[in-house]
Structure 1
Amino acid sequence: MANCFPTGSAAVPDTAHYAGTQRDVGTTTVCAQNGSVVNSPHFNDVHAARDANLTVTVNNTYVQSFARTDETNGCSPNLQGNIQRCQTELKDYLQNKTEDLFQGTKEDGSSILLDQIYTELYITEGGSGQVNSEHEVIELECTKCTGEERKIHLNDIFEALSKEGNPPRRVLTKGIAGIGKTVAVQKFTHDWAKGRVNQKFQCIFPFTFRDLNLIKDKLNLMELICHYYEEATDLETSDYKNSRILFIFDGLDESQLPLEFENNEMCRSLTKKTSVDAILTNLIEGNLLHKASIWITSRPAAASKIPPKFINRVTEVRGFNDEQKDEYFKKKISDRDIAQRIFDHLQSKPLRSLYIMCHIPVFCWISATVLQDLLTHTPETELPKSVTEMYTHFLIIQTKRKHEKDYQDGDKDKDVIMKLGKLAFEQLQKGNIIFCDTDLKDCNIDLKQAAIYSGVCTEIIRKEYGLHRQVSYSFIHLSVQEFLAALYVLENFVICGKNLLAGQRSIKVASEKGEIPIILLHKSAVDKALATKHGQWDLFLRFLLGLSLDTNQKLLQKLVGFEGRHLKNSQETIEYINKMIKKLTFYEKSIYLFHCLNELGDKSLVEQVQKYHSSGDVNKISPAHWSALAYVLLVSNENLDIFDLKKFSTADEVLERMMPLLKVSKTALLGDCNLTDRCCSCISSVLSLKASGLEELDLSKNKLQDYGMELLSAGLKSPNCQLQKLSLRDCNINKEGCWSLASALVSNPSHLRELDLSQNKIHLLDSPSSEHITPPLKEGLKPVHPVLDPHKNNVYNDALKASLFVDDDQELDPLSEVLKKCSLETLRLCGCGITEKPLKCLVSALSSNPSHLKNLDLSRNSFGSQSFSLLLDFLKHPDCQLQTLCLFKANLKLEDAAALASALKLSHLRELDLGGNVLGDAGVIEIAALLKDPNCKVATLRLAGCRFTESGCAALASSLKSNPAHLRVLDLTRNFFKDAGVENLSDFLAEPLCQLKTLNLQMCSLTTACCRILSLALSCCSALKELDLSYNQLMDEGVKLLCGWLQKPQCKLEILRLSCCTESSCEALASALTSNPSHLRELELSKMITKESHLKLRSDLQINPQYKVTVIEG
């Protein structure tokens, strides 16, 4: 971040003259060349990377609404005049202060107009108040963009988004160091000052937390404003109260103020003297100038300093997307050929890690600076392939500025760099990114002298003036500080024999051959990085390992003056890292360790795994090395939206090691993969991620059991969980698991649209045992706490029952509250043991929230006619939007069919499955009456195994003929209508309006006799794509009759299923299909008479290169 606004002094709070004189004295310079490369919370003379085309994420968390009013209404002319004068002068001043971006330092005069190089910020909906669990750069490398998000322009962050009644008053903008937060503030302020946008604000007052840290005296809000902005000197209390004011506070992560929202005294007076901390907390809470708007910027780790209840909207600056990276390099580098070569170099597969890091504008700037210099001045030099190489060249380029400017000799470049390295390391240990004069003196740094004799200081460390003309310092980016710290630690180990990471004062570091056993330092660094919870030392370790390579050592020796030395072979370090990869149980760290191997130039394991993956022979990969494949895929160009575990291997350990891929996927297909409850905790952690993009999760046919559901539910209830589809079919879930799931879904009901719990014995009416009454369950279902005793099951159930239902006579059902509160569109409860009473509770819940559910599967459950009538009442509900109803093997009888047909007359139903119910002819006749109704729009009808004959088939065909245009799928498998039934169906098939695409007549006792009329009818049905006639006695003659239809051009069939074909039948099929080869893609022949017939048919069809059919022997 940089400071482009004035600073004053708090020493003389009542002297406006002092504030004015200090304004120009206190301006400062912060370097951020060519791309939002600003890391300081100061506003003086912003230096940011040009072309600050960034990505920002916004999350709306409205806590309090404010009426939009014209605050100036009712103001006296005198007050209006004060405000107008202040606004005019303030705009002139801010316009002047924000019009330039500096590329380099202010002393170099390398500025460019903001409007000339700035492109529109990219802002999307998302973001949260969570703290990063990893190093900011490493977290970016291990993730990919998660699809399309709602976009919003930077200048609209204080506008109401769609469906929101009022605009936010308090906005928090997050973003990692160097991502462009301060440039966003500068652009926003500049556009307001130019009169372009946001003119609803009459005054904008930007501040930095870095300056506010230095104010120790008590003062009031008006005095605080005037010390920075003399334009506000004439404003009175009434002016502030009647104006729409925006306060900007940049750099919350650099705040040393306690921000004690709970303990600070309330302050509502603009003239009451108090601490700066109290002024800020009262402004943010809305006690002081409650109509004012507040904008705060922060790195993610510090965002939690502001309680979420005081923030109306959270936005996140996300950096460059891929298109903006390309645009950046083309704008930064005027030579298009060089710009394209740089972009191509970074996009090459081995360097995807560098390309991903270019999401950060500061890294774009460093990469562009380095690669342009190398391609222009030393085109024969091999371009950097790792992060360490890039930063090493960057350091060398900065040191060369001394020689270009022909300054007098002072400290050697190496000495200056080591002093900066000591500062970097000591402050990194303390967690500091801001330093003062004392810190520099402790490291023997005279910045004024160093700035003259070394270009390093002018580009790598910067100073900024705060209040009282005090100076603070920071490196241009945290990664630069980490690089210099690593260089300092390495040099101390090599030259002085000190392992600063292990606390050892002195050790012997040279062998008899003069080699230095660098493994001692590397082990300490690896262990330190793995031991830290939030990855504070991760990038430091990568730099340390990379700097140990001979290539980088030679560069530093040749160009910067470091001493020549030979470090012992790094193979020991590589072996140690591989050992740690195998041992790690937290597999996210293993991905990071592969980045470390890359810095050491070791790609042996990665290349081996890559070879297996490319050949499809993934079974040769050992479980311990699945992490290597995850790394390979993460840095590849492959689309990782769909993660299918079966493509790799099926086991808990494999999934755990591939977990980084799950983090970046939208769809996770984990069904039937031999998973157990062991993996559920990892999956839950992915669902809880603040940037989780997982929308579909299939865990079907895994033995997760109730404990697995309890673990998984922790992720499902997270506000970050965006899951829309969840399949838990056949996961051995019982009543306790169902209650855990219900608790999670009730607490986070907004996203899930599809839920499959089929083939689990969930016992809907059973209560959970006391040992499974978990806090999530209590929170999700909100029991009555005053009487709740988790150790007394009956008391708990009574309280919970009261929370679920108004009627005490109703049964307790964990899914009922889910259905009431969620917006489920698809619910599958096939084979869940639902009987009469559970169905009653289920229907009651559905009726209370009828407008969302589109698809309901209650197949393979047995409920009586009385409870089934309740389901029909739901179908009759005027708000019922059900489109698919599956009641396969639901023990339905004739009377149920009649009632169902009556209930569906005015429904939206498009798919009906009544297969497996003994409806008989009478039942099918009732259904046929429904199909005859012109209002019926059923497109899929399944009546498999309903045991009807030609009588029922005749009624069905008659109804379909009278209303032929809607049906697309007709499944009549395992019925007894024989050839006569097909003859009746032929009238429907021959209808010009018939659009049937799938016809299933498997096992319907058909013979040769039906084939001629069926063939004729199908000749008129050009829409048919799939036909199943298997397990019927068609014989050779019947197949040959069908072949007459198959060879016609109007036949568009794609899938054909037959059985009992002889060699003669196969020859006829081959002949017919060869003459009309363009459509059929699948031919399934079950119960072949001889295997030779099958092979002969396959051979005959393969002769024609146009034919692409797959022959399947069923």
Structure 2
Amino acid sequence: MSQTRKKTSSSEETKPHTSFVNKFLRGSKLRSSKAESRKESNDLKTTDFQPSDETQKTPALDTAKPLTSEMELGPRLEKNEQFLQKLGKKAVDKCLDLNNCRLSRADVREMVALLPSLPDLEKLDISWNDFVGGTLQSITEQIHLVCKLKSLRLGSCRLTTDDVRALGEALKAIPELEELNLSWNSKVGGNLPLILQNFQEGSKIQTLELVDCALTSEDGVFVGQLLPMLQSLEVLDLSINRNIGGSLNSIAQGLKSTSNLKVLKLHSCGLSQKSVKVLDAAFKYLGELRNLDLSCNKELGGGFEDSPAQLATLEHLEVLDLHRCSLTAGDVMSLTQVIPLLSNLQELDLSTNKNMGSSSENLLSRLRFLPALKSLLINNCALERETFTALAEASIHLPALEVFNLSWNKCVGGNLELLLETLKLSMSLQVLRLSSCSLVTEDVALLALVIQTGHLARLRKLDLSYNDSICDAGWALICQNLGLLKELTELDISLRPSTSRDCGQWFKHLLCAVAKLPQITEIGMKRWIVPAPLEEELECFDQDHRSNIRFNHDGFEDQEQDKNVWSGELLRSTAIGR
């Protein structure tokens, strides 16, 4: 859910900068039919767009002046038509995606000048652009010119209170709006009614995303009162708003009127034990729900103990996320009766619930009744030998499994053979994570044998990191067979932060295997040190293959480094290009 904010210098306003049109050409994806896409692609290849001198002199819009005060409407439309032709007019007519383009305030003004030429615009995405904050009014004043807008995304734009007020007024001018994303704007909190108060019964809103908006308990009450008016709502994401847990009664009451809801995300919302009962009462009205995320609500533990019967009625549920919910043994017992009934479940995340270790045997054994399951995350659950055995036996009956994460369960070490049949039968497995599982040499030898016999052919990501008990012979065995995993893109064999070791001769086998893997891009080898003789092997590999592969390791043997540093350790990345 998190993204990295792109920092933009405040001095950008005074420096020459590339026109936002050129940025858009480089960064956006034009959406159109296949035939149109091919034609537009050819046009773009044969004609490099350069703004005319007259275009560059177009004055910035002053929001206090009428739209046409700086130039005549006709010439402006003609210039904008030229812009659109170079961008692919038909595609841009429908979608203007400037997400994370580092727009400056001048860019925003140029974009505003473009809006009158886009009367059929349906999607506007200017998320993750810091300088939108404080300038949104210049956009909202022209929003009536794109009244067909269906999607408006303003995530992480540093909106101000004035922006929020202006947006609330502007939404009246776009009655066709179906998607609104205001996530990661803290000023939305406490001001939500100012934005959404004009949503009336019959609103066409289908997606409402308000992630990490610092919503208050009063905002939560308002959401509950608003929901009955949003009969078309399909996606509601209120995640990372820790103060709305206290207003869940109002929200749950409103959810009873949203029978078309397909996605409900309440990740890290301060939910409590009582919240489970409140939500369970609403579940019977949400027959179309596909995705339910209640994760990272640590006070939720114990809330499932009284058999949330209505959860079992979500027969279309495909994604259930309960990671880091402090589930108790009683919760696990109740979920044992419910989860196996969700026959359409495709993704189940129970990770980081450490109390499951000794109480989940029955639950894990009954996962065999979920044949559509594609992703099973049960990492860091303190599994014991008995519960791991139950899981291994059930996993044989999961033919669609693509992602399997068992990391941070120490009991896997020395017992990987329990998964032998699963690994042989998993024709769809693409991600296998066994980080910090106390694996021993015999475990990786078994894994190497499975690979050697032609299994795991679709594996794309393999994580064997933080298994320091594997000896050089074990690493040699696995590396000798890695070349058979033709679809592998990522491999991680890093050591624990408190450890540091020299690479053995197995490193030669790794380089040999990598040369046979056409798609691999990332090899994690943190805290492994490459001895001087093997450094030459790496340099020869660079010269011979020149593939675009990134090795993350702790440098070469002759480098001075503190091997006992826990954080900030020296990482040397050797980029090798093919």
TM-score normalised by length of structure 2: 0.70
- 713 and 1100 in structure 1: CA distance in 2 versus 1, 3 angstrom threshold: farther
Q: 1:737 aligns with which of 200, 216, 219?
A: 219
Matched, 1:986 2:429: no
Task: Specify the alignment match of 2:372 in structure 1.
Answer: 937
Matches of 1:873 and 1:1094 in 2, distance apart? Answer: 61
Unmatched tracts of structure 2, length 5 or more: 1-30, 37-42, 88-95, 496-500, 554-570, 572-578
Q: 2:134 aligns with which of 636, 653, 670?
A: 653
> Do 2:525 and 2:552's aligned partners in 1 also have CA atoms closer than 8 Å?
yes
Matches of 2:471 and 2:165 in 1, distance apart? Answer: 57
Q: 1:1041 aligns with which of 467, 473, 477?
A: 477
Matches of 1:921 and 1:351 in 2, distance apart? Answer: 63
> Do 1:672 and 1:700's aligned partners in 2 also have CA atoms closer than 8 Å?
yes
Matches of 2:120 and 2:535 in 1, distance apart? Answer: 39
Matches of 2:544 and 2:340 in 1, distance apart? Answer: 53
Task: Specify the alignment match of 1:1080 in structure 2.
Answer: 520
Matched AA of 2:291: N
Task: Specify the alignment match of 2:274 in structure 1.
Answer: 837
- 983 and 1024 in structure 1: CA distance in 2 versus 1, 3 angstrom threshold: same
Task: Specify the alignment match of 2:243 in structure 1.
Answer: 762
Matches of 1:841 and 1:1009 in 2, distance apart? Answer: 49
Task: Specify the alignment match of 1:456 in structure 2.
Answer: none
- 679 and 603 in structure 1: CA distance in 2 versus 1, 3 angstrom threshold: same
Matches of 1:593 and 1:870 in 2, distance apart? Answer: 67
Q: Secondary structure at the residue paired with 2:327? A: coil
Unmatched tracts of structure 1, length 5 or more: 1-146, 149-322, 324-343, 353-384, 386-569, 767-811
Matched AA of 2:196: S
Matched AA of 1:892: L
Matches of 1:1042 and 1:585 in 2, distance apart? Answer: 68
Structure with the bigger percentage of helix: 1
Matched, 1:681 2:121: no
Matched ranges for 1:542-557 at <5 A = none
Matched ranges for 1:230-245 at <5 A = none
Matches of 1:1084 and 1:638 in 2, distance apart? Answer: 47
How many pairs are equivalent? 482
C-alpha deviation, 1:1072, in angstroms = 1.0
Matched AA of 2:162: R
- 1084 and 712 in structure 1: CA distance in 2 versus 1, 3 angstrom threshold: farther
Note the alpha carbon deviations across 1:899-918, whole angstroms, 9 max, x for none. Answer: 21222232232222111112
Q: 1:953 aligns with which of 388, 391, 407?
A: 388
Matches of 1:650 and 1:1111 in 2, distance apart? Answer: 36
> Do 1:673 and 1:702's aligned partners in 2 also have CA atoms closer than 8 Å?
yes
C-alpha deviation, 1:938, in angstroms = 2.6
- 677 and 739 in structure 1: CA distance in 2 versus 1, 3 angstrom threshold: farther
Matches of 1:1102 and 1:727 in 2, distance apart? Answer: 49
> Do 2:480 and 2:510's aligned partners in 1 also have CA atoms closer than 8 Å?
no
C-alpha deviation, 1:936, in angstroms = 4.6
Note the alpha carbon deviations across 1:1050-1089, whole angstroms, 9 max, x for none. Answer: 5422332331485656554332111232x32444444453
> Do 1:924 and 1:956's aligned partners in 2 also have CA atoms closer than 8 Å?
no
C-alpha deviation, 1:860, in angstroms = 2.0
Q: 2:348 aligns with which of 907, 912, 924?
A: 912
Matches of 2:486 and 2:311 in 1, distance apart? Answer: 39
C-alpha deviation, 1:827, in angstroms = 0.8
C-alpha deviation, 1:665, in angstroms = 6.2
Matches of 1:952 and 1:1112 in 2, distance apart? Answer: 35
Q: Secondary structure at the residue paired with 2:261? A: coil
Note the alpha carbon deviations across 1:341-364, whole angstroms, 9 max, x for none. Answer: xxx9xxx99999xxxxxxxxxxxx
Matches of 1:350 and 1:1101 in 2, distance apart? Answer: 38
- 633 and 1110 in structure 1: CA distance in 2 versus 1, 3 angstrom threshold: farther
- 707 and 593 in structure 1: CA distance in 2 versus 1, 3 angstrom threshold: farther
Task: Specify the alignment match of 2:449 in structure 1.
Answer: 1016
Higher relative contact order (CA 8 A, sep 6+): 1
> Do 1:950 and 1:976's aligned partners in 2 also have CA atoms closer than 8 Å?
no
Task: Specify the alignment match of 1:712 in structure 2.
Answer: 195
Matched AA of 1:1073: V
Matches of 1:828 and 1:618 in 2, distance apart? Answer: 28
- 1099 and 868 in structure 1: CA distance in 2 versus 1, 3 angstrom threshold: farther
C-alpha deviation, 1:1023, in angstroms = 2.6
Matched ranges for 1:125-136 at <5 A = none
Matched ranges for 1:326-725 at <5 A = 578=59, 581-582=61-62, 584=63, 596=72, 599=75, 622-631=104-113, 641=123, 643-646=125-128, 648-657=129-138, 667-685=151-169, 687-690=171-174, 692=176, 694-717=177-200, 719=202, 721-725=203-207
TM-score normalised by length of structure 1: 0.38
Matches of 2:444 and 2:304 in 1, distance apart? Answer: 40
C-alpha deviation, 1:632, in angstroms = 5.2
Task: Specify the alignment match of 2:24 in structure 1.
Answer: none
- 1042 and 839 in structure 1: CA distance in 2 versus 1, 3 angstrom threshold: same
Matches of 1:623 and 1:668 in 2, distance apart? Answer: 19
C-alpha deviation, 1:825, in angstroms = 1.0
Task: Specify the alignment match of 1:885 in structure 2.
Answer: 320
- 968 and 871 in structure 1: CA distance in 2 versus 1, 3 angstrom threshold: farther
Task: Specify the alignment match of 2:18 in structure 1.
Answer: none
> Do 1:874 and 1:880's aligned partners in 2 also have CA atoms closer than 8 Å?
no
Q: Secondary structure at the residue paired with 2:358? A: helix
Which has more radius of gyration? 1
C-alpha deviation, 1:922, in angstroms = 3.0
Task: Specify the alignment match of 1:903 in structure 2.
Answer: 338
- 1043 and 837 in structure 1: CA distance in 2 versus 1, 3 angstrom threshold: same
Q: Secondary structure at the residue paired with 1:941? A: strand
- 595 and 1070 in structure 1: CA distance in 2 versus 1, 3 angstrom threshold: farther
Note the alpha carbon deviations across 1:355-407, whole angstroms, 9 max, x for none. Answer: xxxxxxxxxxxxxxxxxxxxxxxxxxxxxx9xxxxxxxxxxxxxxxxxxxxxx
C-alpha deviation, 1:617, in angstroms = 12
Matched, 1:968 2:450: no
Q: Secondary structure at the residue paired with 2:336? A: helix
Matched ranges for 1:1050-1069 at <5 A = 1051-1060=486-495, 1067-1069=508-510
Matches of 2:530 and 2:119 in 1, distance apart? Answer: 48
Matches of 2:450 and 2:125 in 1, distance apart? Answer: 45
- 814 and 1011 in structure 1: CA distance in 2 versus 1, 3 angstrom threshold: same
Task: Specify the alignment match of 1:868 in structure 2.
Answer: 304
Matched ranges for 1:79-98 at <5 A = none
The alignment-based identity, stated in percent, is 24
C-alpha deviation, 1:1037, in angstroms = 4.1
C-alpha deviation, 1:697, in angstroms = 3.4
Q: Secondary structure at the residue paired with 1:726? A: strand
Matched AA of 2:511: A
- 813 and 1094 in structure 1: CA distance in 2 versus 1, 3 angstrom threshold: farther
Matches of 2:368 and 2:107 in 1, distance apart? Answer: 62
C-alpha deviation, 1:597, in angstroms = 8.0
Task: Specify the alignment match of 1:207 in structure 2.
Answer: none
- 869 and 921 in structure 1: CA distance in 2 versus 1, 3 angstrom threshold: closer
Matches of 1:680 and 1:663 in 2, distance apart? Answer: 19
Matches of 2:418 and 2:372 in 1, distance apart? Answer: 21
> Do 2:263 and 2:289's aligned partners in 1 also have CA atoms closer than 8 Å?
yes
Matched ranges for 1:206-355 at <5 A = none
Q: Secondary structure at the residue paired with 2:415? A: helix
Matches of 2:302 and 2:244 in 1, distance apart? Answer: 20
Note the alpha carbon deviations across 1:630-671, whole angstroms, 9 max, x for none. Answer: 44587599998462433x545413555456699776554443
- 1063 and 957 in structure 1: CA distance in 2 versus 1, 3 angstrom threshold: same
